[in-house]
Structure 1
Amino acid sequence: MLYLLKSGKIVNTLRNYRKYHRWIGVFLSMFILISSLTGILLSWKKQSDLIQPPTQLVKQETNEPWLAIEEMEMIASRALKKHQPEIQNKIDRIDIRPGKGVAKVLFEQGYWEVQLDGYNGGVLSVERRYSDLIEQLHDGSFFGENFKLLAMNVLGTGLVVMVITGLVLWYCPKIVRKRKKHPFR
């Protein structure tokens, strides 16, 4: 840092930092834009039926037992097949909501969700769940796990560099102005 004691060296260093800051910013802008826009959409997923189907409510009976998972899988697969006969789809996961009496069965392809009554197996809804697509775009996993790992590391490292170079670009001109005003201090 001693070589920065002369104002001319500070100015030259700032020129380089501006160049790095600008090009890193241009490179990261698409990642930041996609991450920001999908983050905004995700914050609205519970308020928008288009992004994520609303959770159906079931009359809750505490002493009635829930269906077995295997039975839920079979009912949900039949419901999706009836709704979309051309689709051959495997179950990705089941989201159990005991407090609401609902099981959400999520499928691997097409972002399909079948909501079931956890007590009697009644099909409550068969709809697309676009929030999963938006989450995959948000974290980069839509393009594969290797891309996700690379993109998130590049984005994180790039943002750290942008903050550091931005702080240098903000603070160093103050030093230059002070040195020009008082050159012998």
Structure 2
Amino acid sequence: MRPASLIVIHEEHQALAAMLRSLSLLLAQSRREGRMPNFEVLRAMLFYIDEFPERLHHTKESQLLFPRLRERCPELGPVLDALDADHAQGEQAIRRLEHALLAFEMMGEPRRAEFEAAAERYIDFYLSHMGTEENTVLPAAEQHLRPEDWAELDAAFLSHRDPLTGHPPEDVYQPLFSRILNTAPAPIGLGE
């Protein structure tokens, strides 16, 4: 039976990948239709990325999962170092993207290309990062971690579940997820 924390990590990766792809689709659609994107939903999507994957998901990976893997699979050290470096830079990267979005919203069309290029770089980076975790780190964890490792990891990863994986959001996040679900297009939300 697959450990619960691996299931949670995989579900959170899928939710984030869907969010990132939806962001890209929204930008492409607005460009194709010659109109400004829905800035409210873009802001909500970037805020979600900052709040959940950056602050909760990455913290648990870097503080709990990766140290266990370093113990059990020292040969993964360089891969884990690179992923930890990605996590350390994640908060700055999302802030730069949020700033580029604000510039686009405030300054209009002259800032579109800059924001879209920054968004695509961020999306490509993040999808590649998750691909490394899914294809290298998680299989190694499944193979080499021990039951006592999984007990602690499962408790941590089950403590804060991403609402985009089908779990009810904490009350404070309910308005954010309602906004995203009602305005973002599929596969994330119910909007057009």
TM-score, reference length from structure 2: 0.26
More helix as a share of residues: 2
Structure possessing the higher radius of gyration over alpha carbons: 1
TM-score, reference length from structure 1: 0.27
More strand as a share of residues: 1
